[in-house]
């Protein structure tokens, strides 16, 4: 019998090691083209350190590759895609840390996503 159970990817925290802008970025996260965090506002101001995310992505098929996009909100210009976090979820476990792979041209920012599979 193949294992047809799906997994949940619980996004725990976003760690910032270097901001793209001075002092802080206005961060939001997209998954499959949809904004998944924050859910109650346009962005969260993120400086050095970590912020709680606490978002659960349910119905993940084991071995599926998830790609999350980290965006910086800009009021007067188009929002910047800072980079992508790609993780493959094959079984329950964690927490794990996935470094954001910066997008060429905006490669100043350094972010890491903490998550676990449940
Ligand atoms: Ca900004």
Per-residue pLDDT reduced to its tens digit, 11-69 = 999 999 999 999 999 999 999 999 999 999 999 999 999 999 999 999 999 999 999 99
Tell me the CATH class for 10-117. Answer: mainly beta
pLDDT band at 2 (very low <50, low <70, confident <90, very high): very low
Q: How far apart are alpha carbons 86 and 73 in whole angstroms? A: 21
Q: 85 forms bridges with which residues in the sheet?
A: 68
Q: How far apart are alpha carbons 59 and 4 in whole angstroms? A: 11
- CA of 106 from ligand 1 middle (Å) equals 12
- CA of 98 from ligand 1 middle (Å) equals 22
Q: Which two structure tokens, joined as six digits, stand for 66?
A: 């998830």
- CA of 86 from ligand 1 middle (Å) equals 23
Q: How far apart are alpha carbons 115 and 54 in whole angstroms? A: 9
User: What ranges do the domains of the chain cover?
Assistant: 10-117
* Lookup result for tokens 């709680």: 52
Q: Is the pTM for the entire model greater than 0.85?
A: yes
To which H or E segment does residue 8 belong?
strand 7-18
């Amino acid at each position: 019998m193949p294992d047809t159970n799906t997994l949940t990817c619980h996004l725990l925290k976003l760690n910032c090691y270097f901001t793209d802008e001075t002092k802080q970025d206005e961060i939001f996260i997209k998954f499959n083209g949809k904004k998944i965090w924050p859910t109650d506002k346009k962005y969260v101001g993120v400086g050095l350190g970590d912020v709680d995310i606490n978002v659960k992505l349910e119905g993940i098929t084991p071995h599926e590759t998830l790609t999350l996009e980290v965006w910086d909100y800009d009021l007067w210009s188009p929002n910047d895609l800072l980079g992508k976090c790609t993780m493959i979820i094959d079984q329950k476990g964690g927490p794990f840390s996935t470094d954001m792979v910066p997008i060429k041209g905006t490669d100043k920012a350094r972010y890491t996503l903490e998550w676990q599979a449940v």
